Amino acid sequence: MTSVEDLSGSWELHGDGVAVPATVPGSVHTDLLRQGRIPDPFLDDNELAVAWVGRADWTYQRDVAWHGPEHERIDLVFEGLDTVARVDLNGTTLGETRNMHRTYRFDVTSLVGAGPQPLSVHFTSAYTEAERVKSLVGPRANAYPEPFQFIRKMACSFGWDWGPTLVTAGIWRPVRLEGWSTARLAAVRPLCTYAENAGKLDLTCEIERTQDRALRAQILLDGREITSLDLDTDAVRATLDIPGVTPWNPRGYGEPALYTLTVVLLDGDRELDRWERRTGFRSVEIDRSPDDAGTRFVIHVNGEPVFAKGVNWIPDDIFPSRMTRERYELRLREAANAGVNLIRVWGGGIYEDRAFYEVCDELGLLVWQDFLFACACYPEEEPLHSEVVAEARDNVTRLSPHPSLITWNGNNENLWLHGAMSWPDDLSWGEKYYLSVLPEIVAELDPSRPYQAGSPWSGSWEHEPNDPDHQTFHSWEVWNRQDYLHYRDSTPRFVAEFGWQAPPAWRTLRDAISDEPMLPDSPGVLHHQKAEDGNGKLARGLAPHFAAPESTEAWHYLTQLNQVRAVRTGVEHWRSHWPHTAGTIVWQLNDLWPVTSWAAIDGAGRYKPLYFALREMYADRALTIQRRDGGLVVAVLNDHAEPWTGPLRIERRDTAGRLVYSIIEKVEVAPRSVALIPVPNGDLLVACLDDQRALWFEAEEFADPGLTVTAEQVPGGLDVTVHATGLARDVLLQPDRVHPGAVVDKGFVTLLPGESTTLHVRAPAELDPGSVKDPWVLTDLASVLRSGSAE
């Protein structure tokens, strides 16, 4: 039986005149930070003060010994080395690495024994390697002034328009000694599909041997043997029908049923090795057929079309070794609780840890996985080509058990930007990867999942890659150059990226920035704004809707409100066009440090108001009022397996919110469909069906809403009740202004005259009810616009 000795834990780190204790998995930055050798790079402009770390060479050291049972073979296994490393054991070089995204295995049988042997992992700066490769293959264009396309490493560690430049190095995933005899399971690749009320398992097992013996593999599902395979060669493939299983379904479409699949490698009755994962059976297709409007892009799971209510995912920490299963589960449950059913793992980050995909499996979250290419021309020559192939084969195999993974995507924006930014094509730039190498690997190793060449991509060079009428589309003219109302100008087939910026929660911003006074354009605030002319775009985005804010607090409130209004405008417009528009993937769910960005959850894990708005606009049943053909309609959005029937109440109110008249219309909306109900124009329209409500403001008046606020102490926090005598637009309670650990259950709330709402504030400490009356804890749009400060 395979034996393992974990080598995670205590190591030593040496480099640039520094010698400190180190923790593996980890990184140089986290080790230096833990020992107080560098300042926190998340604070002020400390990012610049620690830039030297990424340009230095480093060595991790510890003694190792094999204390397990005697085996014919002892391997040293690294699940992740970041990035350019030489591995030495007792003075012997085992090998060199050039790829953060691969696993490495070295035979150390003759080098490791019962006594301790020195193990060293020498890391060369990623900058040194990138410049070396650049000198070999020549320069290539990219969207950022860093050489990330010359090295197989997390691209955004070199900085992005929402991230710091913190170029890491280290043993970033677990490391172990592994002892085995006779044979081991080198790879297991289960492709589980579902059709005609039965599951199908397409199973490939690859074997590494020390002896040529007749072996077999016992295959079990939930502990029950379903077959036994004779292993006459080093690779065997079997296709098995699995009757009686329940299909895995995405959120809102049924149970995400999972089964434990076990492969036991046997020599006679002696167990040599064991592989075990939770998996599920489902079929996945993407309808990319032509129609009169262009080319569809509709995800089908188990034969049923799914409207994708998605978010883009970036690494949740600039130092990904700090991620834990608990943190993955927290963030992914937050996505699910916001109504999300699809997570796109963006191509400038990493192939996430196994825990990420396991949690998505359990929650029924669909995963769209980019291969790791983003916003650049990538050389197709050696030494990169073979690394790309090895990396793709490694990760396609590693992620194959996960039913949540539904599509492989070749790259982020490279096919589009190559033409849009007039990047030269006299040198290789990555097209071969996306249109040949990667689809061939997926076709060989994972034909159960559809492959797409890129995002955006129109399907062929017959159309411009970012053509809204053909397949996937990224909407960035809005935000970069246009007001968010222009989202309504088009109906793309599938919106894979769009978004609007806002600063993080107030406490997150204040904790990261020591500027006094802290202003929208003070040095620390600008340092934590990485987008090109980001603050200028925020200001230009406010201008069509509000006067320039008079204080930092008003700027913070209004830019957060504008983010919510912008994203709501896009999602509700496009969702009302289902199935013509078959999905939206908001940029972005999360942040990896405290920054002004497009995220719904900020870098400290606090919810921006956008998070609560996502929960409303991605609800299975929702209402929205839209302009169609010169008039207004109520779009009744029913993404539910049952019809939605009932009395739709439509109210016309004046600008002060007073009722003018109301009508009731009986509606019956079929499952997974949208109904459009014409309504008259008016200054303020209100549509209500069951517990759902939609508002439409043709003209806006910001009179005093006459708010009264009462706060009651309850176990764990406060219940804050807000009553309005007038129209109260966009009431917001910011819980982090009461206590750094406080949370609330709602974002912006609009109250009609006479209405009340209760906001539930919870915190890890007792809260003073009077604190809700402190400046800017609770305010509303009229108060902000009247004075620029809370009243």
Half-sphere exposure of 147 (CA within 13 A, CB side): 18
Which CATH code fits 707-787?
2.60.40.10
Which of helix, strand or coil describes residue 409?
strand
Per the annotation, the verdict on 431 as an active-site residue is: no
What pLDDT does 790 receive?
A: 42
What pLDDT does 254 receive?
A: 96
Residue ranges of the chain with per-residue pLDDT less than 70:
788-791
Q: Which of 178, 413, 616, 651 is catalytic?
A: 413
What pLDDT does 245 receive?
A: 97
Neighbours of 508 (CB within 10 A): 24
How far is it, in rounded angstroms, from Cα 768 to Cα 713?
Answer: 8
CATH fold label, 182-279: Immunoglobulin-like (2.60.40)
How far is it, in rounded angstroms, from Cα 120 to Cα 86?
Answer: 8
What pLDDT does 788 receive?
A: 57
DSSP annotation string for 45-107: THHHHTGGGGGS-EEEEEEE---S---SEEEEEES--BSEEEEEETTEEEEEEEBTTS-EEEE
**Assigned architecture for domain 3-177:** Sandwich (2.60)
Which CATH code fits 621-697?
2.60.40.10
Is the distance from CB of 675 to CB of 669 less than 8 angstroms? yes
* Residue 158: both structure tokens together: 């070199």
Q: Cis peptide before 25, with omega less than 30 degrees from 0?
A: yes
Outline where 243-324 has alpha helix (H).
none
How far is it, in rounded angstroms, from Cα 378 to Cα 141?
Answer: 9
* Residue 311: both structure tokens together: 């978010």
What pLDDT does 791 receive?
A: 40
Radius of gyration, alpha carbons of the chain: 28
What pLDDT does 789 receive?
A: 45
Query: Which residue from 158, 105, 98 is spatially nearest to 383, judged by alpha carbons?
Result: 98
Query: Which residue from 352, 339, 351 is spatially nearest to 308, judged by alpha carbons?
Result: 339
In this structure, the strands spanning 117-124 and 84-89 are antiparallel
Give the orientation angle of helix 609-617 with respect to helix 552-575, to 10 degrees.
20
Whether 621-697 and 707-787 share one fold: the answer is yes
How far is it, in rounded angstroms, from Cα 729 to Cα 779?
Answer: 10
Phi–psi pair at 376, nearest 5 degrees: -165, 165
Locate the domains of the chain by residue range: 3-177, 182-279, 293-616, 621-697, 707-787
At position 363, the amino acid (one-letter code) is: L
What pLDDT does 175 receive?
A: 98
How far is it, in rounded angstroms, from Cα 689 to Cα 779?
Answer: 28
* Residue 214: both structure tokens together: 């007749």
Number of H-type helices and E-type strands within the chain: 16, 46
State pLDDT tens for residues 599-648: 999 999 999 999 999 999 999 999 999 999 989 999 999 999 999 999 99
For 11-20, the CB contacts below 8 A with 24+ separation are 11/60, 11/61, 11/62, 11/171, 12/60, 12/61, 12/62, 13/58, 13/59, 13/60, 13/61, 14/58, 14/59, 14/61, 15/56, 15/57, 15/58, 15/59, 15/123, 16/52, 16/56, 16/57, 16/58
Which CATH code fits 293-616?
3.20.20.80
What pLDDT does 374 receive?
A: 98
Q: Which residues pair with 601 in a beta bridge?
A: 607
Q: In sequence order, which residues have a C-beta less than 8 Å from that of residue 292 and are 6 or more positions away?
A: none
